[in-house]
Structure 1
Amino acid sequence: MASRNRTEVTEFILLGLFNWPEMQPIIFVIVLAMYLVAVIGNTLLVIVAHSDTKLQTPMYFLLSQLSFIDIFLTTITVPQMLVHTMSVNRTISFNHCMVQLFFFMTVGSMEGHLLAAMAYDRYVALCDPLRYSAIVSHQLCLRITLTSWVIVSLNSFLYSVLVTHLTFCGNQVTHFFCDITPLLQLSFTRPVVNEMLIFTEGVAVVVSPFLFILGSYARIGVAIARMHSVAALRKALSTCSSHILVVLLLYGSVIRMYLRPSSSYDLDQDRQVAIFYTVVTPMLNPLIYSLRNQEVRGALQRLGKKLCISGNFQPGSQANRKWQHIS
């Protein structure tokens, strides 16, 4: 009987961000603008990190990976939400929902692992600068990135498989994408195993990078305190402030959303918090790193100059034709 009831749910209805039909056009315009800023800003960071010779360092390799993750994270959820916002049909097939759940959990967890790797990079740069190039290398960053992808993918696959075996008592999801929390709330049976995994695997995959970040900054703080130097403190703040702000933005919403008992879930508030880490945070990350980082600003300026020069002197350009006529 449970299996038959589960197979009856062949699609879900995503209720969206708000239950106010008159607000849908305004929501569409605002979210679309933020999505475009997030994609364009993170794409520019990826381009300059891989094309500018002055940014060919492990730190900017990790930053480019974080920007790639932000593009992927917001693209998994936002385009679908925009289509549903202006459409009467808000259904998503069961299989498509499970695929979206898998990729969202994978990419979301991967962001925390990258921030932990960036915290380690900052720790070595500030506490052991003479051996930085020997300790932190592109090969190490690549190994950390690939290992993290394997860990978060396996964890997300386990979650997705468990969700497919739940018995659902309806198909209306109080969210704008398929997330683990509203799907658990929609389950007919109490998903004890899933909840246990959230507080065990969730701690291992989500909280452990956060604890590693806290440990790295605690050691940085101890090292700076021993120096009794205002200059060292200023250098630490200028080096780590952007990263700390991004960590607070991410983990503030993640802890609020997932690391609490299911009895305290408020799905109406949760889907509004979800828009923060699926759209707002990916939009703010490139702004934070570009506005507070002179090297990134310089790389963006050099990229802009290259684009202007190539546009003015390409063979078919109007300026070039005018120059040839004068000659």
Structure 2
Amino acid sequence: MTKENSSQITEMVLVGFSNHPHTEIPLFFLFSLTYMVNLFGNTMIIILVVIDSCLRTPMYFFLCHLAFLNIFYTTAVVPKMLFNLLASKKVISYDFCLAQTYIALLMGAAECIILAIMALDRYVAICYPLRYLIIMNWSVCMQLAGGAWTISFFASVVPLYFTTAPICGPYIIDHIFCEVPVLLRMVCEDTSLQELMMVIGAAGTLLLPFLLIVLSYLRILVAVMRMHSAEGRKKAFSTCSSHLTVVTIYYGTGMFMYMRPKYLYSAEGDKFISLFYAVINPALNPLIYSLRNKEVQGAMRRAIERWKIFQRQMILS
């Protein structure tokens, strides 16, 4: 998408689910509910970590970053998708389309790296419990978080900016939002360079973090199997189960979307995959972490109790 040609494009058709018009109203209510669950759940996690001292640990610090990017990612995608489900003219401005593409890449890369850091955190907590707070001190956590966002930016946004190519009409995007694999189908010239950069970027932000997660959990598995206490093994597995569930869902769909050749693209299949990692998965994350986590459940109970006490004090005053 060169500046010369692309600057003349003002808007493009965003097909979404218009090929199945009878599904648009039900999907509007379904995705609206999913988006509200996403906003409420992820915001709740951030608030609980901020107000509850018991959750001020490295694990929940990184969970806050995960919650923030889930909110930001879906907010860049879902409101426009909901609007188009009801609109008769289903379009998206060119500038907003580019913004969605950059945000999708940045947030996707950041989520991969943060999930890898969370796996590393679990490895240190289980394999080196006595040195955990020394190794994962707040200075290290801040550096890891800052490094995750910096690496994500330079590994995803910068390569995309310098490998843009002109797109050709008709300017019709048969997808639910703008992202690189979809826009590559509209490029006028040979896309070998763009595909290569996408695979390299995916290898750096998807594959390498995934390998780190696998290695971390292999070491965790060895350490857990050496534990003599069945209760200790159960506790160790329970602290990792939520993270493993999120990793499996996110990496499975992300790798399939960004690490496959262009000839395997399918418009309808891509919509389903993108829905899963950009809309559904961010809403599932807080449910997975809160429903299966006693610490988060305890923080929620304490927050509710404090709110009840505050209300009683307001009534009495």
* Aligned amino acid, residue 167 of structure 1: I
Aligned mates of 2:129, 2:18 — CA distance in 1: 50
Q: Which position in structure 1 is the counterpart of 2:288?
A: 288
Gap regions ≥5 residues in structure 2 = none
Deviation at 1:16, TM superposition (A): 1.0
Give 1:73-152 correspondences, 5 Å limit.
Answer: 73-152=73-152
Q: Which position in structure 2 is the counterpart of 1:155?
A: 155
Gap regions ≥5 residues in structure 1 = none
Give 1:228-247 correspondences, 5 Å limit.
Answer: 229-247=229-247
Moved more, 102-111 or 30-39: 102-111
Q: Which position in structure 1 is the counterpart of 2:61?
A: 61
Moved more, 29-38 or 168-177: 168-177
Aligned mates of 2:277, 2:259 — CA distance in 1: 15
Q: Is the 8 A contact 1:11 1:93 kept in 2?
A: yes
Instruction: Render the CA deviation track for 1:32-89: whole Å, top value 9, x for unaligned.
Output: 0010011101100000011101111111111111111111111110011011111122
Q: Which position in structure 2 is the counterpart of 1:197?
A: 197
Q: Is the 8 A contact 2:115 2:247 kept in 1?
A: yes
Moved more, 45-54 or 233-242: 233-242
Q: Which position in structure 2 is the counterpart of 1:253?
A: 253
Q: Which position in structure 2 is the counterpart of 1:307?
A: 307
TM-score (norm 2): 0.94
Aligned mates of 1:142, 1:113 — CA distance in 2: 14
* Structure of higher CA gyration radius: 1
Deviation at 1:8, TM superposition (A): 4.4
Aligned mates of 1:45, 1:171 — CA distance in 2: 40
Deviation at 1:160, TM superposition (A): 3.5
Aligned mates of 2:176, 2:206 — CA distance in 1: 22
* Aligned amino acid, residue 74 of structure 2: T
* Aligned amino acid, residue 293 of structure 2: N
* Aligned amino acid, residue 282 of structure 1: P
Q: Which position in structure 1 is the counterpart of 2:263?
A: 263
**Distance change (3 Å), C-alpha of 1:4 and 1:242:** closer
Give 1:160-175 correspondences, 5 Å limit.
Answer: 160-162=160-162, 164-175=164-175
Deviation at 1:119, TM superposition (A): 0.5
**Distance change (3 Å), C-alpha of 1:302 and 1:18:** farther
* Aligned amino acid, residue 133 of structure 2: S
Sequence identity percentage: 37
How many residues in Structure 1 have an aligned counterpart in Structure 2? 316
* Aligned amino acid, residue 214 of structure 2: L
Moved more, 34-43 or 215-224: 215-224
Aligned mates of 1:27, 1:159 — CA distance in 2: 35
Aligned mates of 2:283, 2:227 — CA distance in 1: 37
Aligned mates of 2:309, 2:290 — CA distance in 1: 22
* Aligned amino acid, residue 198 of structure 2: I
Q: Is the 8 A contact 1:98 1:160 kept in 2?
A: no
Aligned mates of 2:76, 2:123 — CA distance in 1: 32
TM-score (norm 1): 0.91
Aligned mates of 1:23, 1:311 — CA distance in 2: 44
* Aligned amino acid, residue 127 of structure 1: C
Aligned mates of 2:302, 2:231 — CA distance in 1: 30
* Aligned amino acid, residue 226 of structure 2: R
Aligned mates of 1:118, 1:193 — CA distance in 2: 33
Aligned mates of 1:113, 1:65 — CA distance in 2: 11
Secondary structure (helix, strand or coil) at the match of 2:126 reads: helix
Deviation at 1:259, TM superposition (A): 0.9
**Distance change (3 Å), C-alpha of 1:162 and 1:174:** farther
**Distance change (3 Å), C-alpha of 1:29 and 1:159:** farther
**Distance change (3 Å), C-alpha of 1:163 and 1:302:** same
* Aligned amino acid, residue 104 of structure 1: A
Instruction: Render the CA deviation track for 1:148-197: whole Å, top value 9, x for unaligned.
Output: 11111122323432564233242100111111111001222221111111
Secondary structure (helix, strand or coil) at the match of 1:119 reads: helix
Matching of residue 208 in structure 1 with residue 219 in structure 2? no
**Distance change (3 Å), C-alpha of 1:18 and 1:140:** farther
**Distance change (3 Å), C-alpha of 1:288 and 1:51:** same
Aligned mates of 2:169, 2:3 — CA distance in 1: 12
Deviation at 1:25, TM superposition (A): 1.0
* Aligned amino acid, residue 60 of structure 1: Y
Deviation at 1:7, TM superposition (A): 4.8
Aligned mates of 1:58, 1:97 — CA distance in 2: 35
Aligned mates of 2:63, 2:260 — CA distance in 1: 30
* Aligned amino acid, residue 65 of structure 1: H
